[in-house]
């Protein structure tokens, strides 16, 4: 047996969670919303809606969209977005560790549940 956990931030609806985080992470790596969307197997439009929805609920910009120049347009994660991602990572990791530890405490090997 194992424990699974899903956490998300909510503000009149989903404001941030693992999906938007993964999308932002790929935008950071590729510098491009369309490449990030392709990597995740979602449409450009869908990716844009995800980011837009988060920005609206969080109340600040996550992406800085550059108009196309010689090398075409690109997207950069804003400073505020980077700070937010870092906070989210630490927040999520602390919770994951605690959930695993608490699962072991109640349902782990030395506990009654595996005797059944």
Q: Which residues bind its own copies (CB under 8 A)?
A: 1-11, 15, 58-60, 80, 83-84, 87-88, 90-91, 94-95, 98-99, 102-103, 105-107, 111-113, 116
Minimum distance from CB of 18 to its own copies (Å)? 12
* Cβ distance to its own copies smaller for residue 7 or 46: 7
* Cβ distance to its own copies smaller for residue 29 or 60: 60
* Cβ distance to its own copies smaller for residue 28 or 80: 80
Count of C-beta atoms within a 10 Å radius of residue 41 = 7
Minimum distance from CB of 45 to its own copies (Å)? 26
Minimum distance from CB of 73 to its own copies (Å)? 26
Minimum distance from CB of 113 to its own copies (Å)? 7
**Angle at which helices 79-107 and 18-30 pack, to 10 degrees?**
130
39, 27 contact by CB (below 8 A): no
Answer positive or negative: Cα dihedral of 44, 8, 29, 77: positive
Using a 10 angstrom Cβ sphere, with 0-12 exposed, 13-18 middle and 19 or more buried, the burial of residue 29 is: exposed
């Amino acid at each position: 047996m194992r424990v699974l956990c899903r956490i998300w931030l909510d503000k009149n609806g989903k404001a941030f969670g693992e999906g938007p985080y993964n999308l932002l992470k790929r935008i950071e790596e590729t510098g491009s919303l369309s490449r990030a969307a392709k990597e995740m197997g979602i449409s450009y439009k869908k990716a844009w809606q995800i980011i837009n929805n988060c920005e609206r609920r969080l109340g600040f910009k996550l992406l800085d969209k550059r108009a196309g120049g010689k090398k075409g347009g690109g997207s950069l994660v804003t400073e505020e977005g980077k700070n937010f991602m870092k906070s989210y990572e630490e927040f999520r990791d602390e919770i994951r560790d605690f959930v695993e530890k608490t699962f072991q405490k109640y349902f782990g090997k030395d506990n009654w549940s595996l005797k059944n």
